[in-house]
Each structure stands twice: as structure tokens, then as C-alpha cells.
């Protein structure tokens, strides 16, 4: 079985690639891989990220780097799916402004940044390859990602469900799982809300903020969380709670006799 490695290679317009361009492009690409990691780890029943990224090899002719994906949990290995998902998503966005099904909105923004760097930093293209599959990225990637992100609908609203899976690494967020559908809404929050998030972990909440989604696409996320309210769920009433509501319902007769008479039309 082939190692879970993906190659990231920069091609310059001139003889050299500027060092900041290399750093910024690699940062955007790693951001994309991490977003795919989070999405696929969640689908597999985990939470957060389940992969560590290592530099396996570098080359300097056309600056390139081979990234090795190492699962942090041997029982939850999504490395191959993440790498294939990266190739699939980039191929889709390079060709057309269509939303790759496993890519989050933050993942789309990382793709947009990759395309912007190609356009503005003197790069001819970025080549991403793995196991004989490759995609040559050009500034068209930015055009398509920008068009797609421009279709986002943003409204002020709220979501209700169980708050689970808080992530503090990078941009802070938590997931709210709908009690009706089981689907998760990713909610990004500022540091000042962390004590409230901590208290609400594992509880049913109502979260208010700006909800953004894409037309005709499933899934949504919330940015700029403004309020988190914990919902107090009361238990069902016990027999002692309802005793005495209709004290003369059976007209003084035993319940069994009363019901038989009612069924008999008396």
C-alpha cells in the first residue's frame, strides 16, 4: 500500500520563487488539508483533527515538498480519504465554480487564497500530485472559488441543538447537532465566549449569530456568534404531579368499572 503522501510544487514565472510566496502557499494548502481532516474525521465518528503532517522530502529545482499524513489514532484513519479529497476538490474548483461536497466554507477560502497567490505572487502554477493523479492550479482557482463564495447567503438567525466538539486550535469553533436531524452546524466564536462554551458543552443550546449557507447545498455554518443560551429541559410530569387535576373523573367508581361502562355506552 502506498504511503499517505501528497506533493506540493510551485512553478514560478521567472527563475526563482520568492520565499514568502512559498511559505504563504504552503500555509494555505495545509489549511485546506486540515479542513478536510476535520470534515472526514467527523464523518468517521471522531472529533477535531486526526492527522499530523510531516515533511518527508523537499526539492529545490521547482520548490516542492512531500507531506506525509500520520493518523493520531490507529482506529480512526482518514489519511487516504483526506489526500484523495484534496485532489478531487482542487480538480473540481480548478475546472468549475461548483462546491466540492466535503469541503467546508473555510476550505473554500483556503482554495481562494491559493489562487490569489498564483495571481499576485509571480507564480505560473501550483502542482498538487499523489499516486499518479495531479492537478495544475492556476489563478482560475481563485476566480471559481470567489464566484462560489459570492453566492453565500448570510442571515441573522439561530440554531438549536446539542453543543459538542469544541476546537481551540486555530480559529475557535464548536458544533451544534440538531436534535431533529442530527446534522452539525459549525459555530465560530471569539475568545471572550469560551467560559460560556465550556459551561454549555454537552448541553442543549440556542446559538445566535450570522448563519451562512450556499443555495441548493446542504449544510451551514455560523460566524460571529453573538449569544449562547443553555436550554433547561424539564422532565415529564410524574403521576403525583398530575394527581388531582380531575379528582371526580370516575364519579367515585373504580377505574376499571368506569372504563367498562364508558366502553359499553353507559
User: pLDDT tens digit string along 4-39?
Assistant: 999 999 988 877 788 888 899 999 999 999 999 988
Q: Is 165 domain-assigned? A: yes
| Domain total in the chain | 2
CA 30 to chain centre: 15
What's the confidence (pLDDT) of residue 124?
87
Environment class of 8 (CB within 10 Å of its CB; exposed 0-12, middle 13-18, buried 19+): buried
Tell whether 83 and 200 lie within a shared domain: no
What's the confidence (pLDDT) of residue 43?
83
Tell whether 26 and 108 lie within a shared domain: yes
Last residue of a domain, one of 121, 150, 179: 150
User: What span, in angstroms and rounded, lies between the C-alpha atoms of 258 and 249?
Assistant: 9
User: What span, in angstroms and rounded, lies between the C-alpha atoms of 213 and 104?
Assistant: 10
CA 239 to chain centre: 44
Q: Is 240 domain-assigned? A: no
Tell whether 135 and 157 lie within a shared domain: no
Tell whether 168 and 142 lie within a shared domain: no
User: pLDDT tens digit string along 139-175?
Assistant: 999 999 998 888 777 788 888 999 988 888 777 889 8
What's the confidence (pLDDT) of residue 232?
81
User: What span, in angstroms and rounded, lies between the C-alpha atoms of 56 and 8?
Assistant: 12
Per DSSP bridges, beta strands 184-188 and 221-230 are parallel
Tell whether 61 and 170 lie within a shared domain: no
What is the average per-residue pLDDT within 236-243?
Answer: 54
**Which residues contact residue 138 at a Cβ distance below 8 angstroms, ignoring those fewer than 6 apart?**
94, 115, 118, 125
pLDDT band at 63 (very low <50, low <70, confident <90, very high): confident
User: What span, in angstroms and rounded, lies between the C-alpha atoms of 203 and 103?
Assistant: 27
Q: Is 263 domain-assigned? A: no
Tell whether 146 and 180 lie within a shared domain: no
DSSP 170-191: SS-EEEEE-TTT--EEEEE--G
**For the whole model, what pTM was predicted?**
0.68
User: What span, in angstroms and rounded, lies between the C-alpha atoms of 108 and 93?
Assistant: 9
Contact 65, 57 (CB under 8 A): yes
User: pLDDT tens digit string along 73-123?
Assistant: 888 999 999 999 999 999 999 999 988 888 888 899 999 999 999 888 778
Phi-psi region of 71 (alpha: psi -120 to 50; beta: other; left: phi over 0): beta
What's the confidence (pLDDT) of residue 238?
56
pLDDT band at 42 (very low <50, low <70, confident <90, very high): confident
Last residue of a domain, one of 150, 184, 202: 150
User: What span, in angstroms and rounded, lies between the C-alpha atoms of 137 and 148?
Assistant: 17
Tell whether 190 and 132 lie within a shared domain: no
What's the confidence (pLDDT) of residue 12?
82
Find the domain containing 181 and state its range. 153-230
pLDDT band at 262 (very low <50, low <70, confident <90, very high): low
Amino acid at each position: 500500500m502506498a504511503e499517505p503522501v501528497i506533493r506540493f510544487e510551485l512553478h514560478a514565472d521567472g527563475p526563482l520563487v520568492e520565499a514568502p510566496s512559498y511559505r504563504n502557499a504552503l500555509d494555505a494548502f495545509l489549511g485546506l488539508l486540515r479542513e478536510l481532516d476535520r470534515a472526514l474525521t467527523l464523518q468517521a465518528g471522531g472529533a477535531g483533527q486526526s492527522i499530523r503532517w510531516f515533511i518527508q522530502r523537499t526539492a529545490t529545482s521547482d520548490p516542492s515538498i512531500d507531506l506525509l499524513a500520520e493518523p493520531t489514532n490507529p482506529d480512526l484513519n482518514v489519511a487516504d480519504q483526506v489526500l484523495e479529497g484534496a485532489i478531487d476538490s482542487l480538480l473540481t474548483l480548478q475546472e468549475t465554480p461548483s462546491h466540492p461536497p466535503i469541503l467546508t466554507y473555510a476550505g473554500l477560502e483556503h482554495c481562494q487564497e491559493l489562487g490569489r497567490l498564483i495571481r499576485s505572487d509571480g507564480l505560473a502554477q501550483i502542482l498538487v500530485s499523489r499516486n499518479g493523479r495531479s492537478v495544475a492550479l492556476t489563478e482560475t482557482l481563485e476566480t471559481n472559488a470567489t464566484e462560489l463564495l459570492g453566492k453565500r447567503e448570510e442571515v441573522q438567525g439561530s440554531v438549536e441543538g446539542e453543543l459538542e466538539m469544541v476546537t481551540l486550535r486555530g480559529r475557535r469553533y464548536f458544533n451544534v447537532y440538531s436534535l431533529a436531524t442530527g446534522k452539525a452546524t459549525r459555530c465560530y466564536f471569539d475568545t471572550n465566549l469560551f467560559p460560556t462554551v465550556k459551561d454549555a458543552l454537552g448541553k442543549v443550546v440556542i446559538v445566535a449569530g450570522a448563519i451562512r449557507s450556499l443555495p441548493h447545498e446542504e449544510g451551514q455554518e455560523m460566524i460571529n456568534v453573538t449569544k449562547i443560551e443553555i436550554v433547561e429541559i424539564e422532565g415529564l410530569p410524574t403521576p403525583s404531579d398530575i394527581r388531582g387535576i380531575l379528582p371526580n373523573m370516575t364519579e367515585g367508581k373504580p377505574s376499571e368499572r368506569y372504563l367498562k361502562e364508558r366502553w359499553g355506552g353507559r
